[in-house]
Chain A
Amino acid sequence: MKTMIGEEETEKIRTSGELEIFRMRLVDSASSRTPRIVISSGTCGQARGSTEVVESFQRAIKKHDLQNKIATRVSGCGGFCETEPNAVIYPEGVFYQKLSPDDAEEIISETVLNGRIVDRLLYVDPNTGQKFVHESEIPFYKKQMRLLLASNLLIEPTSIQDYLSIGGYRTFFKVLRDLTPEQVIEEIKRSGLRGRGGAGFPTGMKWDLCRRARDSIKYVICNADEGDPGAYMDRSLLEGNPHSVIEGMMIGAYAIGASEGFIYVRSEYPLAVKHSKIAIEDARKHGLLGEDIAASGFRFDIRIAIGAGAFVCGEETALIASIEGKRGTPRQRPPFPVEKGLWGRPTNINNVETWANVPLILARGADWYSKIGTERSKGTKIFSLVGKIKNTGLCEVPMGTTLREMIYDIGGGVPDGKKFKAVQIGGPSGGCIPSELLDLPIDYESLTGAGSIMGSGGIIVLDEKTCVVDLVLYYISFLEDESCGKCVSCREGLHRMREILVDISEGRGKAEDIKVLEEVATVVKDASFCGLGQTAPNPVVSTLRYFRDEYLAHIRDRKCPAKVCRALIQYSIVEGNCTGCGACRNICPQKAISGEPKQIHLIDPALCIKCGVCLDTCKFDAIEVS
């Protein structure tokens, strides 16, 4: 291997020896002791202004003439979304949160030049008030086992060099050289890895079935459709470390005998699409994708297929239909995709996180991996902790961690002094878990037993201000819209369930509504063709199991205990607090508020549409919802 990576000349890496030489050269220039400032800049970070923060750091570095001493590195999503834009100063590991562009100057002059901490930018534990200086001490990170996510902060996602410098593709070369495809599958089987997309099917078994299918053409697909609202770990992995997914797919393709792969990304993730494209291009340039990889005769290449806005296309057969240019209508199984999938060929589809686990397992061994987690659910899982929670973000924990640990130890609990009500796990296909079950260990079986599912890992925390009826109505409306429309049970069943829920939320609920709801729910579950319909009733069924009283309050008493359902609440002015500032009167779109300046105002209930703008505007806490 001759030259360094330049703009024109890219030498292909043909053996693991060459890979090592390449890597050593990179490591020399990018060791962990190298001073650098890493700024988390996934889609969320950018939405909060991380790009401007990066630019201001670069300006400050230039101003102080430190270009040769320290550099900025823009990483993908770090997972601690609540604190973004955040930055970590290496090698010390000092963590600064919620940065604005103005802070860069101070950080450079104080911390980088003089080793002094900028106190006001440190992370503060929302419960104890304790400040933390180093990234490694912060409880949010400490309590996790970030086998996959940690790498996000070590690399720039658009740089294959970074990936190589942390040992990337080394595992692939090892596999190619030392293991037969059957041995690879055996290793994955022994690790106990189960599909991270939601169903939890044993990955090794899936690969085995696909391998056994006789065909000269086989496909591997990465399902990055991540349709569950509230889940974004796949986005993080694909944006932040696309090569880890590619390496996983390469190993999988080798094991199964596939020569072509697809990454199916939803169109709502433009950054993930962009980074995947760059990663594939770079891998091709280095001879890691394409013909005769590593001079072994193995050929494999990957194409990107972009989703077009259909939740149902997260389902395997619908995804296949989508790539084939058809409506995303699921197909009957048997035959399963591993036997007859894309264009009738054996196809192995796995979720992003599943693929990302593959190089990890092959590198450190199935024995090591199977020690993490529980008896039947091995390894770690990345969860998105969102909703009414203090430390919103992504957390990666070993299977078996309890909900209580996730929500309180890592998540910091519910903000604004509100009471915890339930968690919704598994997206629209999942169920609500109430506080009585907080000590439930998170693994596939326990969650199913409690009436929910693991799903892709979205955990939505709900507090007392969340109305269960409103939430369920939201999910059923979502599913009715996303249903492909083929099955009467799903299409019409969800339609009628939604009608009943609307009636309940608007105070027209009838005594027998719950019974009808349950009856239709059973039919939707039993009679529908695909996973969407079969799991659609879960939110309804689980909330009727744990929060039946709330439904009854809506039906019998025409009251919404959480004060959310618009038809059942009223907005009024709290006379004791109203200063007559008129802010609410000015902003009310229906002109429903009247009053003279400095006089107590009044809301006309006949005109009020309960849009909530006044509530958001009032600075004196003078608007009440009852």
Chain B
Amino acid sequence: MIEDRSLLLSLLQDIQEKKGYLPEEELIETSKRLGVPLIDLYSVATFYKSFSLRPKGKHRITVCLGTACHVRGGVRIADEIGRRLGIKPGETTPDRNFSLEVVNCLGCCAIGPIMVIDGKYYGGVTTTKAVSTLKQWGK
């Protein structure tokens, strides 16, 4: 039983990093190991956006919807990508190839709208560019 839960967030972050999401079995296992009630882990995991309880796709697409990007048309890009992939933000394609996420600000406001695929940043994106970039990644 740990007296402070300061490790909790970093533990969850480690699992998220390694597995790409927080598998139920891992949460149950962590709960037993730390002596922390399962609902507490689940409660913390669902509070923070960077944790996912469902597996992500092979390729992760993140569209920035910060104010600067929004004002420059970021929503249309997120919508268009979602439309082409047939999923909504937060979801993964049925073939598990792509996941789409929207994030509240990547801090690259000067070159917005921004799209990140698997850690590669694309700036100054338009709907047309987004579509052609998707084609490059196989969709």
A227 within 8 A of B: yes
B33 within 8 A of A: no
Q: Give the interface of B toward A (CB within 8 A).
A: 4-10, 12-13, 43-44, 47-51, 65-73, 76, 79-80, 83-84, 103-112, 114, 121-123, 126-128, 131
A306 near B10: Cβ-Cβ < 8 Å? yes
A611 within 8 A of B: yes
A319-345: which residues lie under 8 A (CB-CB) from chain B?
Answer: 322-328, 343
Assuming the A-B contacts A47-B114, A589-B83, A616-B126, are A228 and B105 also in contact, with contact meaning beta carbons closer than 8 angstroms in the complex?
yes
B67 near A424: Cβ-Cβ < 8 Å? yes
How close is A49's CB to chain B, nearest CB, in angstroms? Answer: 9
B131 near A388: Cβ-Cβ < 8 Å? no
Minimal Cβ-Cβ distance residue in A for B68:
A386
Interface flags for A405-430 (1: CB within 8 Å of B; 0: not) read 00000000000000000001001100
A134 within 8 A of B: no
Minimal Cβ-Cβ distance residue in A for B16:
A308
A81 within 8 A of B: yes
Please give 9 more A-B residue pairs, beta carbons under 8 A apart, in addition to A235-B107, A268-B107, A307-B50. Answer: A43-B108, A47-B108, A232-B105, A305-B10, A309-B49, A458-B109, A460-B68, A589-B84, A612-B127
Q: Which residues of B contact A620 (CB under 8 A)?
A: none
Q: Give the interface of A toward B (CB within 8 A).
A: 43-44, 46-48, 81-82, 84, 226-232, 235, 267-269, 305-311, 322-328, 343, 384, 386-388, 392-393, 424, 427-428, 458, 460, 462, 466, 471, 474-475, 478, 482, 484, 587, 589, 611-613, 616-617
Q: Which residues of B contact A235 (CB under 8 A)?
A: 107
A392 near B109: Cβ-Cβ < 8 Å? yes
B104 near A324: Cβ-Cβ < 8 Å? no
A268 near B13: Cβ-Cβ < 8 Å? no
Q: Which residues of B contact A308 (CB under 8 A)?
A: 9, 12-13, 48-51
Q: Roughly how many angstroms separate A427 CA and B13 CA in the complex, as a whole number? A: 27
- Pick the contact of A310: B47, B114, B122, B127 (CB < 8 A): B47
Minimal Cβ-Cβ distance residue in B for A313:
B48
Q: Which residues of A contact B13 (CB under 8 A)?
A: 267, 306, 308
Q: Roughly how many angstroms separate A66 CA and B15 CA in the complex, as a whole number? A: 47
Please name 21 pairs of A and B residues whose Cβ atoms are closer than 8 Å in the assembled complex, sorted by A: A43-B121, A46-B121, A47-B123, A228-B105, A229-B104, A268-B103, A308-B48, A308-B49, A308-B51, A309-B48, A323-B9, A325-B4, A325-B44, A327-B44, A387-B68, A471-B70, A589-B84, A611-B80, A613-B128, A616-B126, A617-B128
How close is B36's CB to chain A, nearest CB, in angstroms? Answer: 8
How close is B65's CB to chain A, nearest CB, in angstroms? Answer: 8
How close is B60's CB to chain A, nearest CB, in angstroms? Answer: 13
Q: Which residues of B contact A617 (CB under 8 A)?
A: 127-128
Q: Roughly how many angstroms separate A326 CA and B83 CA in the complex, as a whole number? A: 36
Minimal Cβ-Cβ distance residue in B for A466:
B71
Assuming the A-B contacts A47-B123, A328-B47, A589-B83, are A386 and B107 also in contact, with contact meaning beta carbons closer than 8 angstroms in the complex?
no
How close is B34's CB to chain A, nearest CB, in angstroms? Answer: 10
Q: Roughly how many angstroms separate A235 CA and B48 CA in the complex, as a whole number? A: 20
Q: Which residues of A contact B50 (CB under 8 A)?
A: 267, 307-309
Q: Which residues of B contact A428 (CB under 8 A)?
A: 67
Q: Roughly how many angstroms separate A458 CA and B67 CA in the complex, as a whole number? A: 10
Q: Which residues of B contact A393 (CB under 8 A)?
A: 110
Q: Which residues of A contact B9 (CB under 8 A)?
A: 305-306, 308, 322-323, 325
How close is B98's CB to chain A, nearest CB, in angstroms? Answer: 17
A229 near B128: Cβ-Cβ < 8 Å? no
A327 near B47: Cβ-Cβ < 8 Å? yes
- Pick the contact of A311: B68, B70, B104, B114 (CB < 8 A): B104
Q: Roughly how many angstroms separate A231 CA and B124 CA in the complex, as a whole number? A: 18
Q: Roughly how many angstroms separate A322 CA and B7 CA in the complex, as a whole number? A: 11
How close is B63's CB to chain A, nearest CB, in angstroms? Answer: 13
Minimal Cβ-Cβ distance residue in B for A306:
B13
Q: Roughly how many angstroms separate A228 CA and B68 CA in the complex, as a whole number? A: 11
Q: Roughly how many angstroms separate A230 CA and B4 CA in the complex, as a whole number? A: 35
- Pick the contact of A232: B70, B107, B121 (CB < 8 A): B107
Q: Which residues of A contact B71 (CB under 8 A)?
A: 387-388, 460, 462, 466, 471
Q: Which residues of A contact B12 (CB under 8 A)?
A: 308
Q: Roughly how many angstroms separate A386 CA and B13 CA in the complex, as a whole number? A: 31
How close is A353's CB to chain B, nearest CB, in angstroms? Answer: 14
B67 near A44: Cβ-Cβ < 8 Å? no
Q: Which residues of A contact B83 (CB under 8 A)?
A: 589, 611
Minimal Cβ-Cβ distance residue in A for B48:
A308
Q: Which residues of B contact A46 (CB under 8 A)?
A: 121
Q: Which residues of A contact B51 (CB under 8 A)?
A: 308-309
B123 near A326: Cβ-Cβ < 8 Å? no
Assuming the A-B contacts A325-B5, A326-B5, are A229 and B67 also in contact, with contact meaning beta carbons closer than 8 angstroms in the complex?
yes
Q: Roughly how many angstroms separate A553 CA and B116 CA in the complex, as a whole number? A: 37
B5 near A427: Cβ-Cβ < 8 Å? no
How close is B117's CB to chain A, nearest CB, in angstroms? Answer: 12
Assuming the A-B contacts A322-B9, A474-B70, are A47 and B121 also in contact, with contact meaning beta carbons closer than 8 angstroms in the complex?
yes
How close is B42's CB to chain A, nearest CB, in angstroms? Answer: 11
- Pick the contact of B109: A323, A328, A384 (CB < 8 A): A384
A613 near B80: Cβ-Cβ < 8 Å? yes
A386 near B112: Cβ-Cβ < 8 Å? yes
B121 near A310: Cβ-Cβ < 8 Å? no
How close is A223's CB to chain B, nearest CB, in angstroms? Answer: 15
Q: Which residues of B contact A475 (CB under 8 A)?
A: 67
How close is B131's CB to chain A, nearest CB, in angstroms? Answer: 7
Assuming the A-B contacts A268-B107, A310-B47, A322-B9, are A44 and B123 also in contact, with contact meaning beta carbons closer than 8 angstroms in the complex?
yes
